[in-house]
Amino acid sequence: MPHDGAGQPADLGRVKGVIGLGLPTVAMGLLGLAMLPVEAAALLIVPSLVTNVWQLLAGPLFGALLRRLWPMMVSIVAGTLAGSGVIVGTDAGAATAFLGAALALYGVVGLAKPRLRVPPAAEPLAGPLVGAVTGATGVFVIPAVPYIGSLGLERDDLVQALGLSFTVSTLALTAGLVLHGALPLATTAISVLAVLPALVGMAFGAWLRARVRPEVFRLCFFVSLLLLGGELAWREMAS
């Protein structure tokens, strides 16, 4: 299993520190160039969980957000557990192509910046539906991130809500991989080693967030996701 790029966890953590998301998303895409998606998911479990919990606990409204979003979180768990068998058992080429398509779609949505707004009355139905679809994809960003962004949360509350969603998703994915025997001990040990550089990168990213124009970084981030996802999907379809 290739593990090139000693500074990569710090770079990915820096992405997460700046905009509140990105470590699992970018890492899944980059690692997908060198290994199977299920291997990349296993490798990312520990650093993703640690940085997501950090992000979750940094905000002021954990209790209120949990009361509001718990139906979505329950559906994420159910969808992830149901979809984990597909992720583990899917043909490697098809799984990589799907990952690429999901990342490209996420890039398009991010660049389009659709002005979505979900009315509070629709949340009891929309939240569980979005959670189930998000869990089933195994990427954790589509459609969860656009949906959470449509709830009208303030910036810090939005970052904390994303941390909650990603934390639950990571724990559910871990359970799914264990359930299907796809979480080897060696991979878990390597995953633990990636925590420190990821935390350093995340702390630097939080510092950078206050000093970089958000729109410039956002543009670079989503264009990169679009190109990376397109490359993954095209490479598998052309092979």
Band (pLDDT 50/70/90 cuts) for residue 3 is very low
Q: In the 3-class helix/strand/coil scheme, how is 6-37 assigned residue by residue?
A: CCHHHHHHHHHHHHCCCHHHHHHHHHHCCCCH
Task: Give the mean model confidence (pLDDT) for residues 79-98.
Answer: 71
- Give pLDDT tens digits for 201-224: 666 766 766 676 767 777 877 887
Stated as kind and residue range, the H or E segment containing 71 is helix 62-89
Task: Give the mean model confidence (pLDDT) for residues 44-49.
Answer: 78
Band (pLDDT 50/70/90 cuts) for residue 170 is confident
pLDDT at 6 exceeding the cut of 50: no
In terms of pLDDT, which residue wins out, 235 or 32? 235
What share of the chain has pLDDT > 90, as a percent?
A: 14
pLDDT at 162 exceeding the cut of 80: yes
d(CA 34, CA 40) in angstroms, rounded, equals 9
Check: CB of residue 139 under 8 Å from CB of residue 86. no
